[in-house]
Amino acid sequence: MNQSVEKAERIRACKGTRHVTLVTAYDYPTGRLLDEAGVDVVLVGDSVGMVQLGFPDTTHVTLDHMVHHVEATARGVKNALLVGDMPIHTYETVEDAVRTAGKLFRAGADAVKLEGGASQAEKIRAIVKAGIPVMGHIGLLPQKVLEEGGYRIKGKSAAEADALVKDVQAVAEAGACSVVVEGVTPSVARRITAHSPVPTLGIGSGAHTCDGDVVVIHDLVGAFPWFVPAFVKPRADVAGSMTTAVKEWMKDVYTEPGTAGS
């Protein structure tokens, strides 16, 4: 069993025993800081497209983008399970999925994450067979934002709730070590968690509904002030501190014209 598989198995073993923490990172210093803080899972998410690359959503992120950021983050992460998102259009077929997972794995990811439930089971099974751990992702799928016309909370109907339960079971049976549950009504998130044999990691699905929690680091530390999700409580004001520091520095180094060297 390779080290990446061992890390994934440690996360899987958390089901029913303790809470799992997942925080995103996209570069070396952030990855290292999160790892040293003791975070269980560091995710190089395709959210990099919005919080670092300036795109309006994740659908503009390419595999080259992800490989670049996985490589950088991997240099700082030693203990946590490092997961790399598989970007849109890079896992259309089983062969594509295995190929993309391999590129992210070789870039330094311990595991990969792909969006979708039962429909992705065959791809998950193939990636796991190739020796690469997989994290599932069900509920609200950011890569489908354009085709669905926006971000819509899932699980509001009985049929949708039943489908989500089947999704988590299918993903787990295919070999996923854990599953992100995004944008699902709290009651359904609890139901999904109760029926999942692997840890569920919630984001925007209510408090205390899953086996663990996911947060985008920029949201957590207040580093992206232009948009803060309603379900996140910022624990710092990095953007404010940065602006203040730069303004103070500019005052300190500013010299009136003609006075330099006097």
pLDDT, tens only, 93-143: 999 999 999 999 999 999 999 999 999 999 999 999 999 999 999 999 999
> Active-site residues: which are they?
182
Rounded average pLDDT over 65-79: 98
State the pLDDT at residue 110: 98
**Residue 187 labelled as part of a binding site:** no
Rounded average pLDDT over 59-78: 98
Closest C-alpha among 38, 35, 2, 8 to residue 136:
8
**Residue 47 labelled as part of a binding site:** yes
Q: Is residue 230 classed as helix, strand or coil in its secondary structure?
A: coil
What amino acid occupies position 92? E
User: Rounded to an integer, what distance in angstroms lies between the CA atom of residue 249 and that of residue 26?
Assistant: 27
The beta-strand segments (E) located in the chain are 20-24, 41-44, 81-85, 111-113, 134-139, 178-182, 200-203, 212-215
Rounded average pLDDT over 237-246: 98
pLDDT tens sequence across 19-32? 999 999 999 999 99
Q: Is residue 208 classed as helix, strand or coil in its secondary structure?
A: coil
**Residue 85 labelled as part of a binding site:** yes
Helix (H) or strand (E) holding 42: strand 41-44
State the pLDDT at residue 258: 58
Angle separating helix axes 186-195 and 158-173, nearest 10 degrees:
30
CB 15 within 8 Å of CB 211: yes
**Whether residue 149 has pLDDT greater than 70:** yes
User: Rounded to an integer, what distance in angstroms lies between the CA atom of residue 239 and that of residue 223?
Assistant: 5
The length of the chain in residues reads: 262
Q: Is residue 116 classed as helix, strand or coil in its secondary structure?
A: strand
Tell me the average pLDDT of the chain: 96
State the pLDDT at residue 262: 47
pLDDT tens sequence across 162-218? 999 999 999 999 999 999 999 999 999 999 999 999 999 999 999 999 999 999 999
**Residue 241 labelled as part of a binding site:** no
Closest C-alpha among 197, 242, 215 to residue 13:
197
**Residue 4 labelled as part of a binding site:** no
Rounded average pLDDT over 228-237: 96
Bridge partners, 11 (sequence order): none
Rounded average pLDDT over 147-156: 94
**Whether residue 256 has pLDDT greater than 90:** no
Domains belonging to the chain, first-starting first, are 3-237 (3.20.20.60)
Bridge partners, 200 (sequence order): 179
CA 4 to chain centre: 17
